[in-house]
Structure 1
Amino acid sequence: MVIKLLLVIQGEPMGIEERKLREKEERHALIIENAKKLIIEHGVDYLTMQTLAEISELSKATLYLYFENKDAILMEILENAASDFVNFARSRIPGGSSGLQSLHALWMSYLKLFGESQDIIVLTGIKNYIDPQFPLGSEEGGSRFGSAMGEMLALIVEVLRKGVSDGSLEKIPDPERLAYTIIMIATSIIDSETRLPRLQRDPRKISLAIRETFEILLRGLAAEGSDRSLLTLTAL
């Protein structure tokens, strides 16, 4: 009986600590989700610590216990969105596929994620807020920013080099520079639309513009005699 009582007493603090940890994690996730909602609805500039605290029903002091400033929140969202996209895209690139097949799968992944999630819009907004010149030589965003966006760039470069190596893509003098250009084009298309109030945005128009741009790039990069079905991106 004494042993049982001791186990209960010793076990109770663990239960309390676990509950506190879970509540902290849930509150952290809530803050991130509310920040993303504000960005989608109003843009990154509208997001402030005060506004975020209010919609999260927290005091500003409590919010600062989780994040030291707005940039810390944006960086976490950016890192998660970039990592999720890379993992999603890699999961959809078939093993043993050619560079052209991989590029087709990569861009279909981008379109699918854009159609099913707001993360691409959020990622674009944050990128343009932190460092609008990226990836064209600016380092304003710092190492964490460069690392997060670098994951996406590295995947594109990897696919381009694979295509050049296996002959499914034309020779590309500078795959890294082309990857930079692709990032700039894709984010510019989204940014031009997301500057409009949300009710005036047309996701189908954005998706069509991205798809047509990627198809032009596919046709320009594909080696002569390539499978024509890989030069078209199916509308989602």
Structure 2
Amino acid sequence: MYLVNKEKINRSLSAKIVDARVAQIFNSFEDVLVTSSFGTTSVVLLHLVSRIKPDWPIYFIDTGYHFEETLSYKRRLTRLLDLNVIDLHPDSSSHEATEKEQLWIKDSDKCCKINKLAPIEQIKKKHKVWMSGLIGFQNRHRSTLKIIDEKDEILKFYPLIDWNSSLVEEYITSHSLPQHPLKEQGYHSVGCTHCTVPGVGREGRWNNQVKTECGLHQR
């Protein structure tokens, strides 16, 4: 059933502008999971959702390792766009263990699993569609994704996946939206403090590691 829907929806969405894509998914499904990292490109999807579906829950995974600039940006956008943000947290004892062991150095995949993947698992089970703001130009993996894909029995919806950096900047500028405060310091992608350095695209994430994704959108 999902496979048929996925192909049909992809054909339908490919010809639509992004506003219409987002609206169609909200109109077609009652249980849409929306997540945001409040990163450097996140404001585009957040702005779209705030206009098309005001007060819709937006889940933020608070790993405990975010930059203070990211948390400040989250608070600013929440006020500006009147967002209904729900924070998700890792298990406290497991999180403390990752901090004590500095697990991001020894086993970054396990660190992500505890602090990012585990908090969203129970929420995922309650939804049929997961909407997120991934953009294809950010890395090779993301450039292969379609607008609608199926993973772990949930439809993954990437309304901005075929955008480029120019479209993102044009949207932010034309709607007078604030940039992430770390953008001007050379951070084009922002994650946890221990695993993020300045860099173009996602080059600054998991610097000097083969790893390019936390795993949220590879499952």
Task: Report the TM-score, using the length of structure 1 for normalisation.
Answer: 0.30
Higher relative contact order (CA 8 A, sep 6+): 2
Higher helix share: 1
- Structure ID, larger Rg: 1
Task: Report the TM-score, using the length of structure 2 for normalisation.
Answer: 0.32
